Structure 1
Amino acid sequence: MSAPRPTRRTMLKAAGGLTVAAGLGAGTILATSVAASAADDGFGLHIIERNEDDPRMWYYRFQTDAIGWAPAVNVLLPSDYHTSGRTYPVLYLLHGGNQDFIAFDRLGIRDWTAGKPLIVVMPDGGKAGWYSNPVSSNTGPRNWESFHLNQLVPWIDANFRTYAEFAGRAVAGFSMGGFGALKYTAKYYGHFASVSSHSGPASVRRDSGLVVHWANVSSAAVDLAGGTIYGAPAWDEARVTADNPMENLERYRGKRIFLVAGTSPSPDPFDYANETQVLAGQREFRAALDKANIPFTAYEDPGGHMVRPDRMIEDLDGIIAHLKKA
């Protein structure tokens, strides 16, 4: 069982210097990262809450112009981080819809990673943010893509001993987060050497664009006060194409790909419909990868729309084996 969520305390600015790495845009990769005794502001992120007391799970909440409220992140450190002096690969782990940055802590990420040489970054992504900058918002900025890729990634590399390069980064997620992982890997081509989608949709145009419609409806109801991710009634077609794994196959070539979907009906009718769409989309995506001679690992497991701890642990081991070694 994972430990409870860390308590929060007022921000304490660390004594001593901090070397801040150069800025990171959508197409630029940092070559080095600098360790710090405690994290500091930078890259458009102002820390308003933090807890660095736990030996492994460090918590931060930010003020940022990208998001109209204060998003948070948990950073899970390797067991020997404070004594080894080593540099580590990093996994960005993205939660599903109607969840938050604590989701994987509740599920057991501390136990899954105990003794493993990997930093795991678990940010807020909105209850229905879809890891996107929306076409419209009626409740202030909700630019999750900009927050994650243009602010959080370089901030992590500047404040933790990470390999700030393609070979040192992976991204994975569950459900909406699995979609986000696939999207970020293709759209930000040189950022992530490994991508994992656990019950995440991989084909957004199939079935008359059901995933696009669901992203629009859910974001309008939960995150955007009537705004939409992709536009309505007319979609921003270029945005849909840029986000759709099926239309960006070549951008997965040369990367580790790990896919999981459920096959069995769930007692929850919504859950059943959700995973049915995921399974069909992942099968379509896998067939397209096969045709393009792009290798992948994929599982179809009994059960509905849920995180499968055994597959997560297998995935974590595969990520560590694939990325640059600590």
Structure 2
Amino acid sequence: MSQSNISRRQVLKTAGAATAAAALGGAGVIGSATAAHAARDGFGLRIVEHDERDPRMKYYRFATDAIGWNPGVNVLLPDDYSSGRRYPVLYLFHGGGLDQDFITFDRWGIRSLSAGKRLIIVMPDGGHTGWYSNPVSSNVGPRDWETFHIAQLLPWVDANFRTYAEYDGRAVSGFSMGGFGALKYAAKYYGDFASVSSHSGPASLRRDAGLVVHWANISSAAVDLAGGTVYGAPLWDEARVSADNPVQRVPSYHHKRVFLVAGTSPDPVNWADYVQETQVLAGQREFRARLGAAGIPHEWHELPGGHVLRGDMLRRDLDGVIARLRKA
């Protein structure tokens, strides 16, 4: 694995790694932690498969009414978890694409990137084109990713691991579609996350005649929803778009750590790379301008290259997360 430029071109065959998502409700903040092993059912999740043998990486697959198949999650523990400490938690979201799932960051070297860092990292499934959303319509049964992540998985993690189940105990980050999901969740569920990071994730849904919303609808209809859509088609659910749009939720980023990364030179020959990162860069610049106008501090990086995860930026992000959150 290259820890500086992890290419996503092969992933972007049919699915979009841009953004979008839908509405849910109030935030779930529950938690009294138990052991690091022998996790239990709860919060609408029933464990149907698990592997807890690795001292750091714990694997679970759930049956849940929120999703029509059994989504998985990897929970990466710090090296010294056996010490009995409580730890802050980072929710780390994968991008869109046919080979993207909860194992993605393990393939990309998250164990070595996080070695020695006192942080629990939770990496759940989000669908190939789930957009971290409860879709307006689905022709294949429930695909309510927002419900799964916020109402079910978040309290389940706090109940089964030694976490700080509070605002200053949680961060959210992601790449591409997952970067948008991180920005969305941090704004909509303000009290759950004190730090938010987006690695090549879109931050503006309505710019350029709503290109990101259209892409979310098209990709989800083709790949995950059998003709259903995230935001509605031919007419959008405008309230959902506004609720999910980071540039329209700027006040919700007050008092949070905000970390943004985008590429400045996508491959002009690779259409998917060029269109996606060009849109990402423009949207992040719009978002940064609004954050600046509102007096909200933020760290941003524009780097050569296109729509790739930069391992050095992810490592920097992990250090920033730990610096912002409550210490283990």
The answer, yes or no, to whether TM exceeds 0.5 is: yes
Deviations 1:214-261 (A, max 9, x none): 000000000100000000001000000000001100000000000000
Structure 1 match to 2:275: 273
Q: Aligned partners of 2:26 and 2:33: how far apart in 1?
A: 18
Match of 1:294, SS?
coil
- The two structures have a TM-score, normalised by structure 2, of 0.91
1:167-206 mapped onto 2 (5 Å cutoff): 167-206=168-207
Contact 2:31 2:155 in 1 (8 A): no
Contact 1:199 1:305 in 2 (8 A): yes
Deviations 1:145-203 (A, max 9, x none): 00000000000000000101000000000000000000000001100000000000000
Query: 1:80: how far off?
Result: 1.0
Match of 2:43, SS?
coil
Contact 1:95 1:176 in 2 (8 A): yes
Higher relative contact order (CA 8 A, sep 6+): 2
Unaligned runs of 5+ in 1: 3-24
Contact 1:90 1:119 in 2 (8 A): yes
In structure 2, give the amino acid aligned to 1:163: Y
In structure 1, give the amino acid aligned to 2:288: R
1:229-240 mapped onto 2 (5 Å cutoff): 229-240=230-241
Q: Aligned partners of 2:63 and 2:180: how far apart in 1?
A: 26
1:257-272 mapped onto 2 (5 Å cutoff): 257-266=258-267, 267-272=269-274
Q: Aligned partners of 1:125 and 1:222: how far apart in 2?
A: 13
Contact 1:45 1:64 in 2 (8 A): yes
Structure 2 match to 1:50: 50
Structure 2 match to 1:105: 106
Match of 2:259, SS?
strand
Match of 2:192, SS?
coil
Match of 2:209, SS?
helix
Q: Does 1:68 align with 2:68?
A: yes
Q: Aligned partners of 2:86 and 2:32: how far apart in 1?
A: 10
Query: 1:116: how far off?
Result: 0.6
In structure 1, give the amino acid aligned to 2:215: W
Match of 1:275, SS?
helix
Structure 2 match to 1:224: 225
Match of 2:283, SS?
helix
Q: Aligned partners of 2:50 and 2:26: how far apart in 1?
A: 27
In structure 2, give the amino acid aligned to 1:69: W
Unaligned runs of 5+ in 2: 3-24
Quote the RMSD (CA, aligned, Å). 1.2
Q: Aligned partners of 2:72 and 2:61: how far apart in 1?
A: 4
Structure 1 match to 2:16: none
Query: Which of residues 282, 297, 314 in structure 1 aligns to 2:284?
Result: 282
